[in-house]
Structure 1
Amino acid sequence: MIDLRKLVPARARPQAAPTLGLKPRRVEAPRNKARFAIATALFCSVYLVIGGRLVMWGAVSDPNDTYRAASGAGPITRPDLVDRNGEVLATDIKTASLFAEPKRIVDADEATESLLTVLPDLNPKVLHARLSSKAGFAWLKRELTPRQQQEILALGIPGIGFRTEKRRFYPGGPTASHIVGAVNVDNQGIAGMEKYVDDSGFRDLQTSGFASNDAMEPVKLSIDLRVQHVLRDELMAGLGRYQAIAAGGVVINVETGEVVAMASVPDYDPNTPGDALKKDNLNRMSAGTFEMGSTFKIFTTAMALDSGKVKVTDIFDTRPFRVAGFTIKEFHGKGRPLSVPEIFEYSSNVGSAREADLIGIDGHKEFLTRLGLLSRMKTELPEVATPTQPKVWKKINSMTIAFGHGVSTTPLQTVVAAAAIANGGWYIPPTFLPRTKEEADALKTRVVSQQTSDEMRGIFRLNGEQGSGKRANVPGYHVGGKTGTAEKVENGRYSKDKRFNAYIGAFPIEKPRYVVAVVIDEPKRFEKDPNATAGFNAGVMVGNVVRRAATFLNVAPDFGETGKQLLVSY
């Protein structure tokens, strides 16, 4: 074995250093304190920024989060509207509305094309503009159907969302549309009793934040949905039978002033409230004013009897006469003097004019004002028109108003005034809310004496049994009242071919409980009828309503002694 150490020269070998009794010193690399401090500062800064952003996002929410949160919380629920028996007239149901957050839309063109496959009714340009805008939020479509919502979800478009909203639903459709009214897209009442609810405090609750999603107590109306259906059904039938342009009707409780049913056709479905704005769908019963024709002879006759200047046995000359350049004459004259009941039964214009002349202009105007026929009617329904009358009443005005020409008023307030004549002489303000007899007694005011009311009921009955109202007199229910056939004004003149007809009837006439009225606009002669006056159309329609609705109104028929004997034997 070769020893390599022998090959190395002695002077080249490393020599051991002398220790001198000391340990060797350890040399360390110098530490870069500045660089370490910078790195530490950078880490701290990053974490401070992250922490700050988290705090900011927790304290200040994204404005769009309001809509996302609202979709979960849901809007405020409106109270249900129900009829007097608890049947639902209006209620809230949940629906979805589509919105977009344009900043999150990846491709506005593709999103527009996809959405139009489900919602083809949307305007493509408007839709694309909203999806491509810089806004944080944009409505796309309110009140989707469940199927539309599901199909849009299946598209999987980023930046598209749904907000849960409440939609008003009317189970009866147009059955009571002019009474219940409608709401707008934000579920706020804009017409009828829906608006009354908002105006009576519900809107204030919403504004103040005190309204909640807890179920609210339903708002009960005075309407009986069964009677309402009967009334509207007969109006629709009459519209077709007499080829009229419109019709309307009302059933009112004479003891409480409750409106049990009211309809005007053509009407609209409140589930599509935009149709309410169409001119033909006007609520003619309370929001339209008309010359009510010979139905005003109810008030002329009652005024004459209540004044004490006329007795029910008095007789008046009915020959035509001239006043202020006009001739007052009969539609169908009898050619002889008539008693007060005959003036009513034969609908004498001349006799009514002479009755008014006997009372005088001031007395006539005061009497109609007392019955509420010359001022705007006060009730819960917002849609109420203001009557029109001559600026200055002259003798000719008083005489023509006596038989229904010269004053335009709403059919509803005409019926309310007639109820006051029939119920013992008490004017009771109408209401669309339930009202007890005791509550009505606290509100009523006397407008004619009990004697006048008794005499007028006798006259009503006479006309119902053998006069122009006999087609409205249903066996067993003793309907008495007055027809009215008013010529319509066209181009400033009365037209002989266009009429506005009405019949106002009370039953049972011995002690009335309800007044039923029907108006029909421009009816035509039906088949073998001799003409198209009110007795042949409006009167027939009132009779049909009474026949079908009396049972729902808890009015039992009375067939006299013969009927009682038949019931006993049965």
Structure 2
Amino acid sequence: MRSAPSYAGLSFEGQQKSALEVARNRLMVAVLLFFAAFAVMMVRTVELGLSTPEETQVAARHIVVPPVTFSRADIRDRNGEVLATNLESASLYANPQEIKDPHEAAVKLVSVLQDLSLADVEAKLSSGRHFVWLKRKLSPREKWQVNALGIPAFYFQREEERVYPHGRLAAHALGFVDVDGNGLGGVERYFNDRLADKTMTDQPIRLSLDTRVQYALTDELEAAMSAHQAIGAAGLVMDVNTGEVIAMVSLPDFDPNSIGGSAGKERFNRVTQGVYELGSTFKTFTFAAALDKGVATLNDGYDATKPLHIARFTIRDDHPKARYMSLPEIFAYSSNIGTAQMALDLGTERQQEFLSEIGLLQPSTIELPEVGAPLYPQTWRKVSTMTISYGHGIAVSPLQLASGISAMVNGGRLNAATVVENPDAWRTGKQVISQSTSRKIRQLLRLAVTKGTGGRADAVGYRIGGKTGTAEKAVAGGYDTRALISSFVGVYPMDDPRYVVFALLDEPRGTKETFGFRAGGWVAAPVVKNVVLRTAPLLGVAPKREDDGLYHQVAMMIEKD
């Protein structure tokens, strides 16, 4: 037995000092031991902090955990606005072998993650496996709620979630990804390899879209679709000189942040994938071909006194004048009779060649996987030549129409449509009509707004030109007169064209404001006008007084009724 320290021979004061010294030494030893233990704990804490959760868990329980998901580059608009990006997320998994009561654990989990199935969760937790996924990509609130349950067998895996900050805006152009981050639609799919390239994740893809213009176009189309109870709508804004798509809208749309809740019809891109008979907008191409080939001049005309009869078909005018009409009148008043006769003079072969040259007989080459192929007769008869001249018997996408119209007004150069920012795209364009013909087409398009069927698209100061389009929807065995595709394609400013604006409503209904009419000039033209008024200042196009000199010549060819 250890003896107590001896204090014999010491005075009381000396004994007291010795005792204090011994106590101090013992305290110092205790303090040093405490700090040593604390240092060991601190080093271990840092070590654990630097290691990933899955490494720690694997070391402790030998659980095989999938690796952290890969990164993906951002997608931005032409102004640098983020349209798609990756954010760190957490996914929930469990080790069923650590769970004593699978039913109780499942009930608790489903109480906070109510989108999960109790039966599915309980089956997973009862599986006896070492690892089961319970839910991928939890929100911060969901992660907190699961942690609050205090179930030791639940763990989180760090992942990355693809996020679209603007929700539904530009959804069809952007597309979406699956749970593992693979592109499944739109730009996300078309550029999937580029976006997923580890060496380029810090280099975003910059699109030609302008978020501000996209919002305005979406807002106006939604309002028109609601007002006219249409089943769908589509629209786009395109730079006529580069082919860059500034805005692209297809309605109904979807939220790429929650793709599981969308249907196929919502993911269908009406702008690039949908093909429609676009009616009288096609007259622009018939006039351009005839003028450019020397078949007709603006001083010529055709007899539109009565309908044309060919085979079992009858060609009529929606706005009959029942008289001889000059070419400017035929265009402004949208005469099918006059346009069909001009197409016959042009001829089937030259009509086909021209439409092919401006890209209306082939699918668009835009950087999206959802691209529709045009529909036209395999056997191009005389009646086909006549009806196609005014947009019946041929179906193309709105994107194809906008690209063709751009070439008709920009001096005659056809540029490939693109959703990627490329201000130098005009350098690769090809000449399809002369500059002289392009100038005449601009005159006619402006005339159709100031004197003809497109009057409701006129916006003071912006010199809009354009063409209405109204076509009955094709059905088995013919056409449904009750179902219309109503559209308007506009260009501004016509003295120096910058942008094409297109709007389409699928099966619109007439209203009190339109006096029951549902044609393109009544329901789609106002959409184009409103979009121009809202976006022209954003795009740097200032209003100014119109120079009548450009249009005076053709305007004088219009007779007063």
The correspondence of residues 172-191 of structure 1 with structure 2, limited to 5 A, is: 172-191=166-185
2:416 counterpart (425, 429, 432):
429
- The answer (yes or no) to whether the contact 2:74–2:195 under 8 Å persists in 1 is no
Distance 1:265 1:354 in 2: 37
Tell me the SS of whatever aligns to 2:137.
Answer: strand
1:399 counterpart (386, 400, 406):
386
AA aligned opposite 1:190: L
Match of 1:168 in 2: 162
Distance 2:104 2:87 in 1: 33
Question: 1:104 deviation in Å?
Answer: 2.9
In the alignment, does 2:322 pair up with 1:335? yes
Deviations 1:55-85 (Å, cap 9, x if unpaired)? xx99x989964427x3xxx422211111111
Tell me the SS of whatever aligns to 1:291.
Answer: coil
Match of 1:4 in 2: none
Match of 2:352 in 1: 365
Distance 1:64 1:338 in 2: 87
Distance 1:63 1:533 in 2: 70
- The answer (yes or no) to whether the contact 1:101–1:159 under 8 Å persists in 2 is yes
- The answer (yes or no) to whether the contact 2:187–2:368 under 8 Å persists in 1 is yes
Relative distance call for 1:390 and 1:561 in structure 2 (3 A) is closer
Match of 1:114 in 2: 108
Tell me the SS of whatever aligns to 1:454.
Answer: helix
Deviating more after overlay: 549-558 vs 214-223: 214-223
Match of 2:12 in 1: none
In the alignment, does 2:465 pair up with 1:484? no
Match of 1:142 in 2: 136
Match of 2:501 in 1: 516
Tell me the SS of whatever aligns to 2:237.
Answer: strand
Match of 2:6 in 1: none
Distance 1:306 1:62 in 2: 80
- The answer (yes or no) to whether the contact 1:106–1:158 under 8 Å persists in 2 is no
- The answer (yes or no) to whether the contact 2:63–2:130 under 8 Å persists in 1 is no
Tell me the SS of whatever aligns to 1:342.
Answer: helix
Match of 1:380 in 2: 367
TM-score (norm 2): 0.84
In the alignment, does 2:377 pair up with 1:390? yes
- The answer (yes or no) to whether the contact 1:97–1:165 under 8 Å persists in 2 is yes
1:349 counterpart (298, 314, 336):
336
The correspondence of residues 10-409 of structure 1 with structure 2, limited to 5 A, is: 65-67=63-65, 70=67, 74-199=68-193, 201-203=194-196, 205=197, 211=198, 216-318=202-304, 319-409=306-396
AA aligned opposite 2:422: R
Aligned residue-pair number? 491
- The answer (yes or no) to whether the contact 2:188–2:195 under 8 Å persists in 1 is no
Distance 1:383 1:352 in 2: 33
AA aligned opposite 2:215: H
Relative distance call for 1:303 and 1:275 in structure 2 (3 A) is farther
Relative distance call for 1:518 and 1:561 in structure 2 (3 A) is closer
- The answer (yes or no) to whether the contact 1:427–1:445 under 8 Å persists in 2 is yes
Match of 1:31 in 2: none
Question: 1:108 deviation in Å?
Answer: 2.0
- The answer (yes or no) to whether the contact 1:64–1:137 under 8 Å persists in 2 is no
Distance 1:227 1:300 in 2: 31
In the alignment, does 2:398 pair up with 1:445? no
Relative distance call for 1:159 and 1:528 in structure 2 (3 A) is closer
Question: 1:527 deviation in Å?
Answer: 1.3
Distance 2:471 2:114 in 1: 50
- The answer (yes or no) to whether the contact 1:180–1:192 under 8 Å persists in 2 is yes
Tell me the SS of whatever aligns to 2:208.
Answer: coil
Match of 2:23 in 1: none
Tell me the SS of whatever aligns to 2:340.
Answer: helix
- Structure 1 or 2, whichever has the larger Rg, is 1
Distance 2:61 2:337 in 1: 75
Distance 1:498 1:331 in 2: 16
Distance 1:63 1:292 in 2: 65
Deviations 1:73-118 (Å, cap 9, x if unpaired)? x422211111111111111111111112223333322322222222
Distance 2:386 2:478 in 1: 18
Deviating more after overlay: 153-162 vs 395-404: 153-162
Question: 1:286 deviation in Å?
Answer: 0.8
Question: 1:174 deviation in Å?
Answer: 1.0
Question: 1:281 deviation in Å?
Answer: 4.7
- The answer (yes or no) to whether the contact 2:374–2:396 under 8 Å persists in 1 is yes
Q: CA RMSD in A?
A: 2.2
Distance 1:389 1:561 in 2: 40
- The answer (yes or no) to whether the contact 1:275–1:281 under 8 Å persists in 2 is no
Percent identity for Structure 1 against Structure 2: 43
2:478 counterpart (493, 507, 517):
493
- The answer (yes or no) to whether the contact 2:484–2:507 under 8 Å persists in 1 is yes
Distance 1:275 1:445 in 2: 43
2:447 counterpart (458, 462, 474):
462
Distance 2:296 2:417 in 1: 30
2:538 counterpart (552, 563, 570):
552
Question: 1:280 deviation in Å?
Answer: 4.4
AA aligned opposite 2:452: G
Distance 1:321 1:115 in 2: 73
- The answer (yes or no) to whether the contact 2:64–2:131 under 8 Å persists in 1 is no
Distance 1:76 1:528 in 2: 54
- Runs of 4+ in structure 1 displaced over 3 angstroms? 60-66, 275-278
Gaps of 5+ in 1: 1-56, 206-210, 563-570
- The answer (yes or no) to whether the contact 2:106–2:121 under 8 Å persists in 1 is yes
Question: 1:202 deviation in Å?
Answer: 3.7
Relative distance call for 1:63 and 1:494 in structure 2 (3 A) is farther
- The answer (yes or no) to whether the contact 1:250–1:263 under 8 Å persists in 2 is yes
Distance 1:278 1:132 in 2: 36
Deviations 1:321-359 (Å, cap 9, x if unpaired)? 221221222222111111111111111111111111111
In the alignment, does 2:412 pair up with 1:418? no
Tell me the SS of whatever aligns to 1:272.
Answer: helix
Deviations 1:227-280 (Å, cap 9, x if unpaired)? 111110101111112221111111100111110111111111111112443314
In the alignment, does 2:466 pair up with 1:472? no
Distance 2:389 2:69 in 1: 55
